[in-house]
Amino acid sequence: MANDLPPSSCRVGIDLGGSKIAGIAIGAAGVILATRRSAAPQHDYAATIRAIAEMVRALEGSAGQPGTVGIGMPGSIAPGGGGVQNANSTWLNGKPFASDLQQCLAKPVRLANDANCFALSEAVDGAGAGARSLFGVILGTGCGGGLVFEGKVIDGPRGTGGEWGHNPLPWAEPSEFPGPACWCGRRGCMEKWVSGPGLEADHLLHTGVALSATRIAADAAAGHAQARGSLARHANRLGRGLAHVVNIFDPELVVLGGGLSQLGHLYTELPQLMAPYILARDTRVIVKPPRWGDASGVRGAAWLWS
């Protein structure tokens, strides 16, 4: 995308999540001019449009200048003027999200899947800066992926590039088939295994105890065998899923994002877990945490105008 920004303009990025909306205004070289965060409206499309527009105006006001607007969102916009598709915030699906936002803001808006924004942020000036290719993964309330090659997000005619979370768990064991039902209508999707809720559901299934992902990690660190078992199953499944992507895209590195990216053992264990499934003599893969943490998605949305 050409850089058609006037020198004095800022870039506004919005990250629309399942439970929160984050916003940022950045200036030259990514300098932060303003930030905002608010709760995301639930099951209310019109309120979502209003909340995003209010945040954009507030960020521009704090920055002292108008800006271009990029938005990271769950799902994607169907090509050809279609509405939202594949969003786990299901009240967005089928809606003319792009045109409604542009009408409300009275300016052009660029939109991309939130995982694509995360991957772009980490490729531009994050953990993958300088790498030719990168696979960015969000492991949070959902599970998404974004592919970046030579500084550009890879997408295609259906707007589903990098849509990793709704592929089935590869090399599934008998006990993992057909897998849990997913909101998308299929069974056994990666999202149901390796997201935060997926980890929690698996722990409940094996132990009969309902715990948050944060508590499971804390119990594992304290030496609890059942929690350690849940983290081991989670890492094994994540490793298989990532190896599948490596066999197709062969990225220089993988960057993890979302709440589960804070699980430190993943960075040492995943390369070993991936290796048996990678069809190459050199099975080494670099797996890194994000440089920008939970700000990566919103920064990537702003960089949609670079």
- What is the per-residue pLDDT for 193? 98
Q: Residue 1's pLDDT is what?
A: 40
Task: Work out whether strand 67-73 and strand 10-16 pair parallel, antiparallel, or are unpaired.
Answer: parallel
My answer on whether 31 and 179 are in the same domain is: no
Task: Report the number of distinct structural domains present in the chain.
Answer: 2
Nearest to residue 184, comparing CAs of 164, 202, 155, 157? Answer: 164
For residues 164 and 182, membership in a common domain is answered with yes
pLDDT (tens digit per residue) in 261-284: 999 999 999 999 999 999 999 999
Task: Please give the torsion angle defined by the CA atoms of residues 154, 157, 162 and 168, in that order, rounded to the nearest 10 degrees.
Answer: -160
Is residue 285 domain-shared with residue 299, that is, in the same domain?
no
pLDDT of residue 18: 80
Per mean pLDDT, which range of 18-22, 49-53, 214-218 is the poorest?
18-22
CATH number at residue 224: 3.30.420.40
In this structure, the answer to whether residues 27 and 14 fall within a common structural domain is yes
Q: Mind listing the pLDDT tens digit for each residue in 122-168?
A: 999 999 999 999 999 999 988 989 999 999 999 888 888 888 999 99
Question: What number is the average pLDDT over the span 288-293?
Answer: 94
pLDDT in tens, 167-211: 999 999 999 999 999 988 999 999 999 999 999 999 999 999 999
The amino acid at 166: H
Residue 142: other Cβ atoms inside 10 A: 26
Print the domain residue range for 281.
Answer: 127-290
61 and 99: one domain?
Answer: yes
**164 and 246 inside one domain:** yes
**What is the reported pLDDT for 248?**
96
pLDDT tens digits for 93-123?
A: 999 999 999 999 999 999 999 999 999 999 9
For residue 5, tell me if it sits in a domain: no
- Measured CA to CA, the distance from residue 162 to residue 30 in angstroms comes to 25
Look at residue 179 and tell me if it is in a domain. Answer: yes
Same domain, 285 and 174: yes
Provide the token pair at 150.
């030579």
Question: Of all residues in the chain, what percent carry a pLDDT higher than 90?
Answer: 81
Q: Binning pLDDT at 50, 70 and 90, where does residue 301 land? A: very high
* 106 and 188 inside one domain: no
Structure confidence by residue, pLDDT tens digits, 28-44: 778 999 999 999 999 99
Distance, CA of 186 to CA of 166 (rounded, Å):
8
- In this structure, are 76 and 214 located in the same domain? no
Shared-domain flag, residues 220 and 78: no
The reply to whether 60 and 159 lie within a common domain is: no
Could you tell me if residue 1 is inside a domain?
Answer: no
- Average pLDDT on 219-247 reads 98
What per-residue confidence (pLDDT) applies to 49?
97
Rounded to whole angstroms, the Cα distance separating 184 from 74 reads 13
If asked whether residues 156 and 278 sit together in one domain, one would say yes
Query: What percentage of the chain has pLDDT greater than the value 70?
Result: 97
pLDDT value for 78:
86
Mean pLDDT estimate for the chain: 93
